[in-house]
Structure 1
Amino acid sequence: MWKLLHKLKDALIYDADREFYAKVFPDSVDSKDLMRIRKMDHADLTSVLKIEELNYEFPWSEGIFKDCFRTMTYTCWVCEAADDSIVGYCIINVAAGEAHIMNISVNPLFQRQGAGRKMLEHLIEYARSRAEKIFLEVRPSNPGAINLYRKSGFREIGTRKNYYPAKNGREDAIMFELDLVPML
Structure 2
Amino acid sequence: MADVRRIKVITLDDRTLEFQLHSKLLTKDLLDLVASHYMLKEKGYFGLSFRDNNSNLIWFDPERKVTDYSIPKKPETVTLYFGVRCYIESITHLQDSGTIELFYLQAKVSIYKGDIEVDSETAFELAAYILQEAHGDFTTDIKAQTQLKKLPVLPTKALQEHPSLSYCEKRVLFYYRRLEGLSRGQAIVW
TM-score in terms of structure 1 length: 0.28
Q: Would you tell me which structure has more strand in proportion to its own residues? A: 1
Structure with larger RCO (C-alpha < 8 A, sep 6+): 2
Kindly name which structure, 1 or 2, has the bigger radius of gyration based on alpha carbons.
2
Richer in helix (by share): 2
